[in-house]
Amino acid sequence: MESQRTSAWARVLILAAAAAAATQCTPSRPASRQAGGGAVQSDIAVAAQKTYVAPGDLDQYYMFASGGHSGQIYVYGIPSMRHISTIPVFTPYPATGYGFDDESKKMLGELTWGDVHHPSLSETKGDYDGRWLFVNEMNGRLARIDLRDFKTKQILGPVANLHGNHASAFVTPNTEYALMASRFSRPVPNRPIGVDKYATDYKGIVAGIKIDPQSGEMSLGWQILMPPFDYDLGDAGKGPSEGWFFLTSYNTERATGKLEVTSAQRDRDYIAAVDWRAVEKAVAEGKADTIGGVKVIDPKKVPGLVYLLPCGKSPHGVDVAPNGNWIVGSGKLQGVTTVFNFEKVQTAIKNKDFTGDEDGIPVLKYESIKDAEVPVGLGPLHTQFGTDDWAYTSLFVDSAIAKWKLGTWEVVDKAPMSYSIGHLSAAEGDTVSPDGNYLVGLNKLSHGRHLNVGPSQPESSQLVDITEEKMKLLYDAFTEPEPHYAQIVKADKIKPIEVYPKEENKHPLAVWDVGQAGVTRNGRNVTVKMVAVRSTLTPTEFEVQEGDTVTVAVTNIEQTTDELHGFGLLDYNINIVIDPGETKTVTFTAKKNGVYAFYCTNFCSALHQEMQGYMVVK
């Protein structure tokens, strides 16, 4: 087994080396110190200077990176690549008390694990507007983070009918919808039908999640019943293609079992093009059925909503270019990436230029809708965009980034990545107006780019300078596992608050005066209204009876930024953190009689160690 694995990787590496040798362009990167020489040293100096953010200075960009199956979002500054914050989303995080207080615990529900893949910043007219960040999760959920305070405010789902939400969140250019789709088909509604009926009785689902333009509140929009393919990635159309969603799919063979063989039979799979405005209209006209509480449209009964664009082979990423007319689809088992022309797609639809259908969904003729097959290299996955029509495609097998030009389709440069790049993210690189400047390769393996810590090697992402003709590697950074997609936004677009203003705190259990702090009892329910302010938690002691249901509501009455307090209760698995101006509650059952200490867990002042008290259980 072990030797088989090694040889597979050896093959990948040989391929990568051969490809690197074959390319005309010598990728530039800071040479290692061992290479010596004046010019080399100055290259390193240039790279160092470009990433060095001096003490007191701030980064130019925020990068929001998915944390994969850690369930979290990690925030980095660019160009320093410093990890500056962790936003807990689908997984408890004691550092901020997330998943311990009543509210976030309720939001997480039964699941304390999530698999985050694609962060999606809210947009206005196709540009990031700095309001919210939406993130998908494989267990059929979507979360909204408010960028006013970098906190998770809503988790929607698990959404009915849809299994394995990977092609998500990808909001529309004016944040009307976020996308969801099933990677795993199954019977809809879910019921125990054997896998032998997969091809006929299992269904895929593509869903539009409605977003309230004022509050950002997400609600179930609609779903489309799709053939049982694996929907993999998506993107929203913009400009001329605004109003459409594009989704790659693999396993259009409708195969089961060993997919690495059974799903790689066809030369072409599909990109599904969904006219979401038409879907919205059809749903409003009552053409949907309600399944599992969601409006579901069957395109066999309602034609004109979905079309299939053939795309080779086992496509992964699909990315709409800034001008909205080019749709780049990358077949991960190919050496080219395909560029489709949206105008041609529209013409083909009008002329019924179809080659067949899948469960009633028309398949467009490949030759009629493609503009180019760009020879980017082996294993193309994702494409990001820069200024002046530059496009950057990640190559997993080649372990490199290819730079090419939209319109001329010329590949002009390749930069090696260490190793096996997955996603890549350019500064505002999926908006209508990319910034250029920086690109980050989010690598799947790191192979010794950091100090050795054992069999699980630290993940590595690489910062690349894209201001010049040749891409230049600037920096290797540890990124929290498991990095998938990331988005990079100009720092001045994000305007976080300093404190929660007192006037905005409408919590029914908030107390703003230590004189009002105290304990009330209602039958077996005890409520402790507690005030946290440097350097006391008031009341400093309280008594309850064994078996009581106890709610501790802590208000941090500080109005100074960064003055957080914690409430940790020993032996109770409780730690909540309260930001200045916030009230949070935690509810638990007083167990075995005895004395239990509580204390402030967030270092807040010179007398932080004194910020402690006792709960006596009688």
Q: Which residues bind ligand RUQ (CB under 6 A)?
A: 117-118, 166, 233, 316, 381-382, 422-423, 484-485
Rg (Cα) of the chain, in Å, rounded? Answer: 26
By C-beta, is 209 or 574 nearer to ligand RUQ?
A: 209
Which ranges in 23-85 belong to alpha helices (H)? Answer: 38-51
List the single partner that 316 binds among ligand CUA, ligand RUQ, none, CB under 5 to 8 Å by kind: ligand RUQ
CB of 400 to ligand RUQ, least distance (A): 14
Q: Which two tokens stand for residue 278?
A: 């038409």
Shortest reach from residue 569's CB to ligand RUQ, in Å: 38
The full length of the chain comes to 618
586 near 565, Cβ under 8 Å?
no
Q: How far is the CB of 235 from ligand RUQ (least distance, A)?
A: 11
Which of ligand CUA, ligand RUQ, none does residue 484 bind (CB under 5 to 8 Å by kind)? ligand RUQ
Q: Which residue, 79 or 317, is less far from ligand RUQ as judged by CB?
A: 317
Question: Nearest distance from residue 584's CB to ligand CUA, in Å?
Answer: 14
Q: Which of 117, 69, 61 minimizes the C-alpha distance to 91?
A: 69
485 binds, among ligand CUA, ligand RUQ, none (CB under 5 to 8 A by kind): ligand RUQ
344: DSSP letter: H
For the bound state, the minimum distance from the C-beta of residue 95 to ligand RUQ, rounded and expressed in Å, comes to 26
> Where does 99-162 show beta strands of DSSP type E?
119-124, 127-137, 141-146, 151-156
Beta carbon of residue 603, minimum distance to ligand CUA (angstroms, whole number) = 6
Residue written as token pair 């009688």: 618
Close Cβ partners of 187 (under 8 Å, ≥ 6 residues apart): 193, 201, 202, 203
Q: Which residues pair with 339 in a beta bridge?
A: 328, 372
Q: Where are the alpha helices (DSSP H) in 247-384?
A: 259-262, 276-284, 342-350, 366-369
CB 438 within 8 A of CB 80: no
Of all helices (H) and strands (E), which one includes residue 11?
Answer: helix 2-22
Residue 22 DSSP code: H
> Whole-angstrom Cα distance, residue 487 to residue 475?
18
- Alpha carbon distance 565, 536 (integer Å): 10
414 makes contact, choosing from ligand RUQ, ligand CUA, none, with CB < 5 to 8 Å by partner type, with none
Q: Using CA atoms, how far apart are residues 414 and 513, in angstroms rounded to an integer?
A: 63
Query: Choosing among ligand RUQ, ligand CUA, none, which partner's interface includes residue 611 (Cβ < 5 to 8 Å by kind)?
Result: ligand CUA
- As a whole number of angstroms, the distance between CA 406 and CA 313 comes to 21
* CB-nearer residue toward ligand RUQ: 29 or 484: 484
At closest approach, how far in Å is the CB of 310 from ligand RUQ? 21
Contact 584, 101 (CB under 8 A): yes
Question: In this complex, which beta carbon is closest to ligand CUA, that of residue 209 or of residue 611?
Answer: 611
For the CB of residue 394, give the shortest distance to ligand RUQ in the complex, in Å: 8
Residue 422 binding: pick among ligand CUA, ligand RUQ, none (C-beta 5-8 Å cut-off by kind): ligand RUQ
Judged by beta carbon distances under 5 to 8 A according to partner kind, the member of ligand CUA, ligand RUQ, none in contact with residue 144 is none
User: How crowded is the C-beta side of 382, counted as CA atoms within 13 Å?
Assistant: 23
Q: In the 8-state DSSP scheme, what is residue 182?
A: B
Q: Which residues of 297-318 are buried (b: 16+ CB within 10 A; e: fewer)?
A: bbbeebeebbbbbbbbbbbbbb
Q: Identify what 565 binds: ligand CUA, ligand RUQ, none; CB under 5 to 8 Å per kind.
A: ligand CUA
Residues 426, 436 contacting (CB under 8 angstroms):
yes
**Residue 241 vs 248, nearer CB to ligand RUQ:** 248
Return the number of the residue (382 or 529) whose C-beta is nearest ligand RUQ.
382
Minimum distance, C-beta of residue 459 to ligand CUA, in the bound complex (Å): 33
For residue 317, the minimal CB distance to ligand CUA (Å) is 46
Q: How near is the Cβ of 169 to ligand RUQ at its closest, in Å? A: 11
Q: Judged by CB, which is closer to ligand CUA: 383, or 556?
A: 556
Residues at the site binding ligand CUA, with contacts judged by CB under 6 A? 565, 600, 602-604, 608, 611
The entry of ligand CUA, ligand RUQ, none near residue 603 (CB within 5 to 8 angstroms by kind) is ligand CUA
Comparing CB distances to ligand CUA, the nearer of 437 and 538 is 538
Rounded least distance, CB 211 to ligand CUA, Å? 37
- Scan for tokens 């509810």, then name that residue: 587
End-to-end CA distance of the chain: 60
The secondary element (H helix, E strand) that includes residue 419 is: none
Q: Which does 117 bind (CB under 5 to 8 A by kind): ligand RUQ, ligand CUA, none?
A: ligand RUQ
Q: What is the dihedral of CA 380, 385, 389, 393, to 10 degrees?
A: -10
CB of residue 514 vs ligand CUA: minimum separation in angstroms? 14
Min separation Cβ 483 and ligand RUQ, Å: 9
Smaller CB separation from ligand CUA, 437 or 536: 536
Residue among 202 and 485 whose Cβ is closer to ligand RUQ: 485
- When the beta carbons of 236 and 604 are compared against ligand CUA, the nearer one is 604
What letters, b where the CB count within 10 A reaches 16 and e where it falls short, cover 438-463?
bbbbbbbbbeebeeeeeeebbbbbbb
Decide whether 414 or 565 has the Cβ nearer to ligand CUA: 565
Residue position matching structure tokens 């690189």: 429
If contact means CB under 5 to 8 A according to the sort of partner, which of ligand RUQ, ligand CUA, none does residue 602 touch? ligand CUA
374 membership: H or E segment, kind and range: strand 370-374
Number of neighbouring beta carbons within 10 Å of residue 184: 16
Q: Please, what sign has the CA dihedral across residues 364, 368, 369, 373?
A: positive
Q: Residue type for 43, please?
A: D
604 binds, among ligand RUQ, ligand CUA, none (CB under 5 to 8 A by kind): ligand CUA
Q: Are strands 612-617 and 541-544 parallel, antiparallel or unpaired?
A: parallel
User: Residue 118 binds what, of ligand CUA, ligand RUQ, none (CB under 5 to 8 Å, by partner type)?
Assistant: ligand RUQ
* Residue 423 binds: one of ligand RUQ, ligand CUA, none (C-beta under 5 to 8 A by kind): ligand RUQ
| Closer Cβ to ligand CUA, 224 or 557, answer by number | 557
Q: Which is nearer to ligand RUQ, 233 or 531 (CB)?
A: 233
